[in-house]
Chains A and B, each alone.
Chain A
Amino acid sequence: MSLRCPSTGKALLALAAVAALAGGCDRERRDLGASMPEGGPQIQTTDLTPGRGGVLPPDPRGQLYEKSAYHVSEGSRLFRWYNCSGCHANGGGGMGPALIDDEWRYGSSIEQIYGTILEGRPNGMPSFRGKATEQQIWQLAAYVRSLGGETPQASSSRREAMRSTPPRNQVTPPKPKGEGAPAVQGTAR
């Protein structure tokens, strides 16, 4: 049979479908410059406030950075470049406390982590105010959140999935240990 031209309606529908699909091709927007409003979040390190009320709402920027795989990935790069890994290793800690566990001395919300990195803390966390840019501190805070398993799985880059210690919300529950489970992992001979 010979070819028949499809109807105009069908053609328009197909075009619209293609356009919609193409629009979804952007995984996320990357804000590369300082196009986000600057000025840090309001931070509250403690849950205790005298009187009624006083709990601060979460900063919307926190969500933006946490949900963006690009920003979390940039955070992991800065984590190494700024020697965070020198004190916190790959989240297990060392000179600094562990970041992959669920104990947060100074708060686990992204604003509180932002504050920790910006201000430093009295027992040895250095202050990065004026050294790292605000966007970089957000990225680092988003990465630290991902180390603790607090960010959505979708925003972790593939690099994180290949690490030996994936974030808590990505770890399959450990099998119950039998008698023969070795206490020490590694190439023990």
Chain B
Amino acid sequence: MGDKVAEPERRRRWWWIGALVVLLLAVVAAVILSRNTSSPGATQKIASAPFQPGAPGEDDGQWTMPAKDYASTRYSALNQINVSNVGALRPEFTFSTGVNKGHEAAPIVVGGTMYIVTPFPNQVFALDLTRPGAPLKWSYSPKPKSAAQGVACCDVVNRGAVYSDGKIIIATLDGAVIGLNAETGSEAWRTQLGDINRGETITMAPLVVKGKVLVGNSGGEMGVRGWLTALDAGSGSVAWRAYNTGPDKDVLIGADFKPFYAMDRGTDLGVKTWPPEAWRTGGATVWGWISYDPELNLIYYGTGNPGPWNAEQRPGDNKWSSGIFARDPDTGQARWFYQISPHDLHDYDAINENVLLDLPIGGKVRKVLVRPERNGYVYVIDRASGQVLSADPFVYVNSSQGVDLRTGRLKPNKDKEPQVGKVVREICPSANGAKDWNPSAWSPRTRLLYLPHVNMCMDWQSAEVNYIAGTPYVGAEVRMYGGAGGNRGVFTAWDPVKRTKAWEIKEDLPLWSGALATGGDLVFYGTMEGWFKAVDASNGRVLWQFKTSSGIIGQPISYRGPDGRQYIAILSGVGGWAGAVVSGNLDPRDPTAALGMANATQDLKQKTTTGGTLYVFALPVHR
């Protein structure tokens, strides 16, 4: 047999094989290379499509709204500062706001300018980031009424400005919403929405959706009637207002309203679930966070506690308090509502952040809204229909016994029901909730939600209270203290799919600052003593910390400066409800002061003092 092919034949075969291999490699290389190409002009995008349902997309390096994006992820994809180099992080510049009250705001960065709003008197500062030391570009003083300080329940805070279409929009403590020219700081329009003589103030950061400024009122402890108002962002005129108590026509409930659960269905429930006329002073304010889903065209926000705290004066489910509304942003018409705490007994406002994510649940990817709630459960809710997919406790809870997923109803614990004239002890979580307004952050890389929250319980005694407009309408004496373990604060990394804690960091003082997650696999938060910390997002190891001049209750942000470097910014200045003992110079010998918080923060005056400073950190420049 011929065992060898002729020489030239063999050589020709090898040539064919070689060419085939080269061709194959070229195809593979082309495929790989084509994936990595970024479209030109991405870095110049200003706030385009800022909705990222948990997917790591492009990050323009700005921070145009306190929640970073409409999904409220508070995630910055910037990764210049990462786990390996964060130890070198140092302050780049600071700025003193001149106000010594609680600083809860998130700084806003648009292009080369940073905008911060101070607590009362709500001064707005624009800092020029293109020049070293970020000097002041302009400042604006809205001159709100001083008397507004007397009707603000929980320090005279402000949670931030928002940028939209060349305007910086803020709300003031005495209930005005103001649109400023972002370049010059001149007032473009000013609309008065709240009345301090009825106890109304505004502390929230507005949100701009499709050219409408969304803002709600505060005053659930003052017997106000809660509402969400939409103003035209160009002119400041009122487009629509949805109340959160009262007849359907005021609550903007119409034919589109399809709540998932039977307990939320019916006509005029905003009247029928209250004793006669009680809904007029029923609270259900909107002072927290709003998210927006552009695909479903729905905004999501929560309503505050019903008024008064003494639940015996308002029997019934007290709709539409302590729940989540989904509304059409163009008309305000409600699409669905879920009441998280019907006939709320413990001041569990439902105004926390609504993180919009697409999560794999039960085998398929579902569009959900994740809500770490005051009453101690992390809710995962289908954001199209309002169905609760899971509600799991992230702290020790005894004020309720879980959520019945069939009816959607919270199961109250009768033993922890407050009564007039009796003290009910060891109710967990306390009135400020397992987690209050201070927002969590989501990392699409670790798939974890980072919750800065508290571990606190309380004693409660209800009392009868007169409604006197402009004075508190509470009717309860409360005394709070740390829960089991002794630590009053906790920083938890929560897995919403596995529905468990991944890790946690215990803190001595309650955590009242927001969280920030970055693409460098870092998570940032601040303590009430003033430590600003960077933590490894995957395991919770503290990698860096810096002691600022006062306790931190603000929201950290990250941005790319005009020089291309990544910066981390935070406002330091203790206060808010948790820091009231310091910012209000209260006397902690009275445990019921500051609605019970004084007892839990008796040592705070020894650990921090008042302040008001912006800190901006960056890595040192390599020469």
Contact = CB atoms under 8 A, between A and B. Distances in A.
Is A–B contact present in the complex under a CB 8 A cutoff?
A: yes
A175 to B, nearest CB: 15
Interface in B138-160: 146-153
Given A80-B463, A82-B468, A186-B479, A94 B599 contact: no
Contacts of B593: 89-94, 98
B586 A97 contact: yes
A2 interface: no
Given A83-B472, A87-B471, A89-B592, A186 B584 contact: no
Interface string B463-484: 1011010111110010111111
A165 B481 contact: no
Contacts of B146: 122-124
B602 interface: yes
Contacts of A184: 481-482, 488, 599-600, 602-603
30 contacts: A80-B463, A82-B471, A83-B465, A86-B474, A89-B477, A89-B592, A89-B594, A91-B590, A91-B593, A92-B586, A92-B588, A94-B593, A94-B595, A95-B472, A97-B586, A100-B590, A120-B147, A122-B146, A123-B146, A124-B146, A126-B147, A165-B591, A183-B602, A184-B600, A186-B459, A186-B480, A186-B600, A187-B426, A188-B486, A189-B426
Interface residues of A, number: 34
B587 interface: yes
Given A126-B471, A165-B591, 16 more contacts: A82-B466, A82-B468, A86-B474, A90-B593, A93-B585, A93-B593, A93-B594, A94-B153, A96-B150, A98-B587, A98-B593, A123-B149, A124-B150, A164-B591, A183-B603, A184-B488
A90 B474 CA distance: 14
Contacts of A189: 426, 483-484
A92 B581 CA distance: 9
A4 B150 CA distance: 76
B425 interface: yes
B231 interface: no
Given A83-B465, A87-B471, A89-B594, A98 B602 contact: no
A98 B598 CA distance: 11
B580 interface: yes
Given A83-B466, A92-B598, A186-B599, A126 B590 contact: no
A185 B591 contact: yes
B126 to A, nearest CB: 28
B594 A87 contact: no
A113 B328 CA distance: 51
Contacts of B221: 86
Interface in A46-84: 80-83
Contacts of B153: 94-95
A125 interface: yes
B422 interface: no
Interface of A: 80-83, 86-87, 89-98, 100-101, 103, 120, 122-126, 164-165, 183-189
Contact of A94 (B471, B473, B589, B594): B594
Nearest to A101: B587
A97 B603 contact: no
A92 B594 contact: yes
Interface in B239-257: none
Contacts of B471: 82-83, 86-87, 126
A186 to B, nearest CB: 3
Contacts of B488: 184
Nearest to B396: A189
Contact of B150 (A82, A87, A89, A92): A87
A122 B147 contact: yes
Nearest to A91: B590
Nearest to A186: B481
Contacts of B586: 92-94, 97-98
A186 B425 CA distance: 10
Contacts of A94: 153, 580, 584, 586, 593-595
Contacts of A125: 150
Contacts of A86: 221, 465, 471-474
